Amino acid sequence: MKLIIASNNAHKLIEIKDILGGMFDEIVSMKEAGIDHETVEDGKTFMENAVKKAREIAEISGCWAIADDSGICVDALDGAPGIYSARFSGRHGDDKANNRLLLEKLEGVEDRGAHYTCAIALVGPEGSIYEAEGYMYGSIGFEEKGSNGFGYDPLFILPEEGGLTAAQISPEEKNRISHRSQALHRLLQEIGKEK
C-alpha cells in the first residue's frame, strides 16, 4: 500500500515517515510520485484545507494521500495569524517577514500566549477520510532565538522546555512534542478504531 504526502516539505516528510512508516509499504512525497499540483487553500479552517489537499492528491494518484495544514494562533490577536500563518506578511513562506510582523503586532502586549495547531487528513482512494488535530502550547518571545526549526519556531517559547524556543531544541525533541506529532499519533488511534 502506497501513501503520498501532499507536500514536498522535508521536515514534514521525515516526521510522517517516522510515525506512519509501519502502516504503508511505501511513503513518498508528491515530487517522488511525479505529481505537480497546487491545491488552492481556500478553506476557513485548518481541517478544511487539509482534507481538500489530501482528497485532491488521492483523486489524482489513485493512492492513499495525507495532508496537513498548520499554523500559529496567538491569543492576543484573536487566534491570528491562524490559517494565514505562512502568508501573514503577504508573501508566502517568508519566515523573517512573518516573524517581524508578529512582533510588531504584539508590541506592548503582556499576554503573549499562543499555540500551534496541526490538522491532518488521510484520504483513501475510494474516498474514506480520517481526521485528527494536535496542539503545542507556549508563548511568543520578544526576539528570535535559535537556528533549528522553521516558521515561527524562533519566537515560540516552550514552558516545558525551560523557556527555550522551538528553534533552540533539537529537531528530534521538537518532533517528539510537536503539534504535528500529536496529530499523527491521534490519527493512528482514529485508524485503529475503524479496524
Strands annotated E in the chain: 2-5, 26-29, 64-74, 113-123, 129-140, 156-157
The pLDDT of residue 185 is 93
- Does position 15 have pLDDT exceeding 70, yes or no? yes
Q: Which residues share a beta bridge with 157?
A: 139, 165
Encode pLDDT of 132-142 as tens digits.
999 999 999 99
DSSP state of 81: B
Q: Is the torsion defined by CA of 78, 179, 119, 5 positive or negative? A: positive
Q: Are 115 and 72 in contact (CB under 8 A)?
A: yes
Separation in Å, CA 75 to CA 36, 108, 116, 118, 138: 36, 14, 11, 17, 11
**Measured distance CA(50)–CA(115) in Å, rounded:** 18
Give the confidence band of 191 by pLDDT, cuts at 50, 70, 90: confident
Return the SS3 of 26: strand
Choosing from 69, 78, 95, 153, the catalytic residue is: 69
Average pLDDT, rounded, for the chain: 93
Instruction: Say if residues 91 and 97 touch (Cβ distance below 8 Å).
Output: yes
Query: Lowest-pLDDT range, 1-5, 166-170, 189-193?
Result: 189-193
**CA–CA dist 146, 154 (Å, integer):** 6
- The verdict on whether 69 is a catalytic residue reads yes
Burial of 132 (0-12, 13-18, 19+ CB in 10 A): buried
Q: Could you give the angle at which helices 10-20 and 179-194 cross, rounded to 10 degrees? A: 40
pLDDT for 70-121, tens place per residue?
A: 999 999 999 999 999 999 999 888 999 999 999 999 999 999 999 999 999 9
Percent of the chain with pLDDT over 90: 81
Query: What pLDDT, in 10s, does the model give residues 41-81?
Result: 999 999 999 999 999 999 999 999 999 999 999 999 999 99
Band of the pLDDT at 172, cuts 50, 70, 90? Answer: confident
Phi, psi of 185 (to 5 degrees): -70, -35
